[in-house]
Amino acid sequence: MYDNDTEPTFPTNLLTIDQLSPAALQRLLNRSAAIKAGEEAGRLTDRTVAMVFEKPSTRTRTSFEAGVTQLGGHPTFLGQDDIHLGHGEPIKDTARALSQYVDTIVARLHSHDDLTELAAYADVPVVNALTDEAHPCQTLADLLTLREIAAESGEQLDDTTLAWVGDGNNVARSLVVGCALTGVELRVATPAGYGVDDDAIAAARAAGGEPALFDAPEAAVAGADAVYTDVWVSMGESEDKLPAFDGFQVGKQLLAGDTKLLHCLPAGRGREVTDGALESDQSVVWQQAGNRMPTQQALLLELLGA
């Protein structure tokens, strides 16, 4: 949990978004914008970042690797068949060995408990690159994107109303807390049995938010500035859950006026989102994907005090 510091301090790790205070998150977004504008002087010279990935990734892996390289550091990718983790060596041993060599560990693991164990045994900062429970790096890019959209009409991030439509999954859990920390009004439409869990809602409330919960998309999107969806079947899950999502597809009918469309990607076109909506002028998914890099660069600079 965060402290309401006036002078924001950074946590040692970023495992969940609620480790950031509202002030620290604001500073991170400001620094991300400065990086994007080419105004950042911080460097990661001679720093090595281990990238431990148990699941596939296009955006997270590449934006971290390229982002570290741009800042003068060195990313080293350790996929599931590259290291002993998952093939007999325990997490705690992996954590203690890697800590001797690298300055940060970025990890995409199946189990959030495994990530917590990794962080407990590591002597260097650990960053969650997605687990079954959380995707805080995605939330950073989402918030920067919403801030940029708000700025186009002379507004602030906390003037924004966002609707989440679909599964109450890892991306949604981090988003509800990120919105609470930044004053974004969030409306969440999920089918019965697939809502955002009580812990995430409690974390959002602790951060000063009150997500409005709906069981159908139409009411949630009414008046929203942006609509956000994600896959209905996350990596490692069964497709048995699919029938529950009938009626939750985001198409142009849910994007009234100039309502923007967000999606963390990869997208299931024709499933949770229509091709027409994703390719429309209202879609900001490429801007959102692009924002993964400056936000993660800012995060690494803050974590390493660079």
In the complex, the residues that contact ligand NVA under the rule CB under 6 A are 130, 169-171, 230-231, 234-235, 264
Cis bond before residue 266 (omega within 30° of 0): yes
Helix or strand or coil: residue 209?
coil
Residues 131-170 that bind ligand CP (CB under 6 A): 138
Helix or strand or coil: residue 189?
strand
Of 60, 94, 160, 170, the residue at the interface with ligand CP (CB under 6 A) is 60
- Pairwise CA distance, residues 127 & 124, whole Å: 10
175 binds ligand CP (CB under 6 A): no
231 binds ligand CP (CB under 6 A): no
126 binds ligand CP (CB under 6 A): no
**Between residues 106 and 224, which has the closer beta carbon with respect to ligand CP?**
106
**Between residues 31 and 55, which has the closer beta carbon with respect to ligand CP?**
55
**Between residues 62 and 280, which has the closer beta carbon with respect to ligand CP?**
62
**Beta carbons of 262 and 254 less than 8 angstroms apart:** no
Residue 285 half-sphere exposure toward CB, CA atoms < 13 A: 20
DSSP secondary structure of 127-143: EES--SS--HHHHHHHH
Virtual CA dihedral for 18, 207, 213, 252, nearest 10 degrees?
-70
Q: Which residues are catalytic?
A: 108, 135, 138, 230, 264, 292
Query: Per CB under 6 A, which region of 11-19, 54-62, 189-197, 211-219 contacts ligand CP?
Result: 54-62
How near is the Cβ of 134 to ligand NVA at its closest, in Å?
Answer: 10
The continuous run of DSSP H or E covering 276 comes out as: helix 275-278
**75 pairs with which residues across the strands?**
49
Q: Which does 170 bind (CB under 5 to 8 A by kind): ligand NVA, ligand CP, none?
A: ligand NVA
Query: Per CB under 6 A, which region of 57-65, 81-89, 90-98, 157-165 contacts ligand CP?
Result: 57-65
Of 32, 57, 160, 296, the residue at the interface with ligand CP (CB under 6 A) is 57
- Please give the distance of CA 113 from its chain centroid, rounded to a whole number: 18
Residues that bind ligand CP (CB under 6 A): 57-60, 130, 138, 264-266
